[in-house]
Amino acid sequence: GAVVSQHPSWVICKSGTSVKIECRSLDFQATTMFWYRQFPKQSLMLMATSNEGSKATYEQGVEKDKFLINHASLTLSTLTVTSAHPEDSSFYICSARGAGGAETQYFGPGTRLLVL
Amino acid sequence: GNSVTQMEGPVTLSEEAFLTINCTYTATGYPSLFWYVQYPGEGLQLLLKATKADDKGSNKGFEATYRKETTSFHLEKGSVQVSDSAVYFCVLLVNNRLAFGKGNQVVVIP
């Protein structure tokens, strides 16, 4: 299947700093990318959906000024956690969808963020 | 709303044992149902799917049947291997949106 990468896989930062996470579709063009957040022993919660060249659509309760999403190309989306705080510590997973719809949605391996 | 419920807790079993992971759902409309698997250090991968009632999805020895009358999509495998150790997520798709269960950690002991 198609490959989606995330970088970094692990990040530890101090409270108040900003962290950028990259998501790349390596062998296909992703018309849509998704960002999810996963708490321990919980399901994946959709944070936002982004289409290339457009502003992201955020789910209810997700602060768009806190979680900045950029989808500048068909193979790259970035999530920036601004002024991170300990409560932002979580596992962030990106997903990229090709032209075939939801059944061609591929997931990255996730990024573990720990804010001290 | 749309939601997926998976049985609680990790599943630990011996090699060649029979595996069942329960999944039930609530949904408006007519969802498609999926099982995704996440191996250590990797992203979620589609394991199997069923798009309408009574469909059976199958892959790598795993099976799940879309039961509309019981709103269930239980995952089964007759004889597990150590390499099946992973986290399994039951997922529904409706209105082009995915909704995930909490996932079940499966550990297969040699």
Cβ-contact B25, B64 below 8 angstroms: no
Give yes or no for residue A99 having a pLDDT over 80.
no
Residues (pLDDT < 70) of chain B are none
Q: Write the single-letter amino acid at A2.
A: A
pLDDT of residue B24: 97
CA distance, residue A85 to nearest chain B CA (Å): 25
Cβ-contact A112, A10 below 8 angstroms: yes
List the Cα angle B74/B87/B60 in 5-degree steps: 60
Distance CA A94, CA A57 (A): 14
On average, the pLDDT of chain A sits at 91
pLDDT of residue B77: 98
Interface membership of B11 toward A (CB under 8 Å): no
Cβ-contact B69, B54 below 8 angstroms: no
pLDDT, one tens digit per residue, over A17-57 is: 999 999 999 988 888 999 999 887 788 999 999 988 888 99
Interface membership of B41 toward A (CB under 8 Å): yes
CA B6 to centroid of chain Cα atoms:
8
- The stretch A66-79 carries a mean pLDDT of 92
Distance CA A85, CA B59 (A): 42
pLDDT of residue A80: 97
